[in-house]
Amino acid sequence: MTGDLSKCNTEKIHNVITSLTCNYPECDYTVNLGDTIRPRSKSPYRVNLIRPGVDTGKTVCYDLSTARLTDSSIFVLPMMGMNRTLMLWDSLFVNAFIGTENDKDCIAILYRFSGEPKFAKFESALCSFRNFRKREDPDPYHVLFVFDVPEDAKSSYDAYVQGKYSMIDDIWKLRILEFHDFDIDGHTGKILFQSPSLRTQLEDKLDVVLPKNAELHSRPDLQFEVYDRTYYSPRKPTI
């Protein structure tokens, strides 16, 4: 949301924005966490995050989104092979998970549904994968694909689930970086290879001395890393 934000106010709980209210001469509206909005015809989105965009200390926009990117999207999705472009990362991809309410020890991938022929071909390709388990339509606007973990990635998958990023096999560490086109000296590379500079940065930030073999990223939070239908599925639109 951009434009004149002088008429917009937020409410917060524990520094988390829970609602955004805008009072304009032509309309008044409030968006609360959990509401569904329709920015485009036939495209409802559930709002689970409201974040301000700040430039030089001034709020210049509000980002209304369904979810933050999961850690599984960074560390597990590459175990499917391919790369961001082939997995429609910048268009219809929503998030990746390590489970659903009915599935464990899997790789689940959520997409926005599209009636375009290109997406139909993409769906067909995913369903032909050797490790394909099932396809679901959790609501009219999303498609969920569930896969078994590839045999050669199981030990690395287990390491990720336990938050032992440095124990991921080196071949998969490199494939993770390649999938996202990340540099080995970037943040994800520093997590995977336990960079001394990131360790120092975290120790300064947390004011602690980390154990010698401590991992440099939090263990996956199952609240976000397991797919929750009610969290992602839109309801009756608010605006």
Rounded to an integer, what distance in angstroms lies between the CA atom of residue 236 and that of residue 11?
A: 23
Pairing of strands 58-65, 49-55: antiparallel
Report the pLDDT value the prediction gives residue 237, as an integer from 0 to 100.
60
User: Taking the domains of the chain in order of start, what are their residue ranges?
Assistant: 8-65, 71-151, 162-223
The predicted model scores a pTM of 0.92
Q: Residue 167 in contact with residue 174, Cβ under 8 Å?
A: no
Report the amino acid identity of residue 192: L
Which residue stretches of the chain have pLDDT < 50? none
Report the pLDDT value the prediction gives residue 27, as an integer from 0 to 100.
85
Q: Residue 135, Cα to own-chain centre: how many angstroms?
A: 19
**Class of the domain covering 71-151:** alpha beta
Report the pLDDT value the prediction gives residue 239, as an integer from 0 to 100.
52
Q: Write phi, then psi, for 71 (nearest 5 degrees).
A: -65, -30
For the four alpha carbons of 116, 117, 118 and 122, in that order, the dihedral sign comes to positive
Q: Residue 96 in contact with residue 109, Cβ under 8 Å?
A: yes
Q: Write phi, then psi, for 126 (nearest 5 degrees).
A: -65, -40
